[in-house]
Amino acid sequence: MLGSLYLPGNTWLHRTPAGLKLAMLALTSSALMWVHSPLFLLVACALVCFLVRGAGASLRQVWQQLRPLFLLLLVLGGLPVWSQGLLQAVEMILRLLTLVLAALVVTMTTPLTQMMQVVAWLLSPFQRLGWVSADRIALGVGLTLRLIPELGVQWQDIREAQLARGLTPSPLTMGVPMLLRTLRRADEIAEAIDARG
C-alpha cells in the first residue's frame, strides 16, 4: 500500500460515489467534534474499523499508514492528561483515531481521479464567477494526496539505505536527503505538468 493509498476492489464502499463518501466524511468529522463521550467515540471508532476491514485492507496495511501518526496521537493525547485529566486524553485520542481511520477508508476506496472530479465540481460555481480555476485546484489536491504516501516511501528508502551503510538514522541525517529528493520530485512533476500544457 505504500506509494498509493487506493486499494482496487469491488466492495460496496468502492461502488459508493466519491461525492457521497467525501460528504459523509465531512459530516462525520464535524459531528465528532461535538461528541464528548468516550464510550460513544469508542463505538464510532469500532464502526470505522469495520469499514476499514470491509474496504479490504489488512491489519499490516493499516498499520503502515497509522505508524507515522502513532507518536503524534500519543503526544496529542498526552497533553490533556496534564491539563484536563485522563478522560479528556482518551477522548482526544479516540476522536483523532476515528477521524484518521475514516479518512483512510475514503482514500482506500476512492480513486484519485474521482476525488479530483468532485473537487472540480464543487468549485465550478466559483470558476463561472471567475474567482478560481477549478481544474488547477483539483490538480493541486490530487498531487497532494498522491505525494503524501510517496514521501513515506522516500523516508523508508533513505532509512534502509542508511542502515545498509551501517549508519544510525536520525532526523538530521535523514532530513537533508529527504529534502533533496522531495525538491527533485517536485521539479519532475512541474516539468511533466509544463510538458502537458
Contact present, 104 and 5 (Cβ < 8 Å): yes
Chain segment 127-146, per-residue pLDDT in tens: 998 898 888 888 888 887 77
Same structural domain for residues 80 and 172? no
Structural domain including 49 reads: 1-110
Ramachandran area for residue 16 (φ above 0: left; ψ -120 to 50: alpha; else beta): beta
Same structural domain for residues 18 and 79? yes
Among 69, 94, 110, the domain-final residue is 110
Chain segment 7-56, per-residue pLDDT in tens: 888 899 999 999 999 999 999 999 999 988 989 999 999 999 999 988 88
Same structural domain for residues 156 and 178? yes
Contact present, 48 and 105 (Cβ < 8 Å): yes
Here the cell at position 144 is 497532494
- Measured CA to CA, the distance from residue 44 to residue 103 in angstroms comes to 13
- Measured CA to CA, the distance from residue 30 to residue 99 in angstroms comes to 10
Same structural domain for residues 148 and 68? no
Phi, psi angles (nearest 5°) of residue 84: -125, -20
Same structural domain for residues 92 and 121? no
Closest to 162 (Cα-Cα) out of 183, 176, 152, 151: 176
Chain segment 46-101, per-residue pLDDT in tens: 999 999 988 888 888 888 777 777 777 777 766 776 777 778 888 888 998 999 99
Same structural domain for residues 117 and 186? yes
Chain segment 49-58, per-residue pLDDT in tens: 999 988 888 8
Same structural domain for residues 168 and 73? no
Same structural domain for residues 85 and 143? no
Same structural domain for residues 53 and 130? no
Contact present, 53 and 15 (Cβ < 8 Å): no
Closest to 136 (Cα-Cα) out of 113, 116, 154: 116
Same structural domain for residues 152 and 102? no
Q: What is the number of structural domains in the chain?
A: 2
Here the cell at position 178 is 529527504
Same structural domain for residues 83 and 24? yes
Among 92, 110, 128, the domain-final residue is 110
Give this prediction's pTM: 0.76
3-state secondary structure of 4: coil
Among 110, 126, 159, the domain-final residue is 110
Same structural domain for residues 97 and 117? no
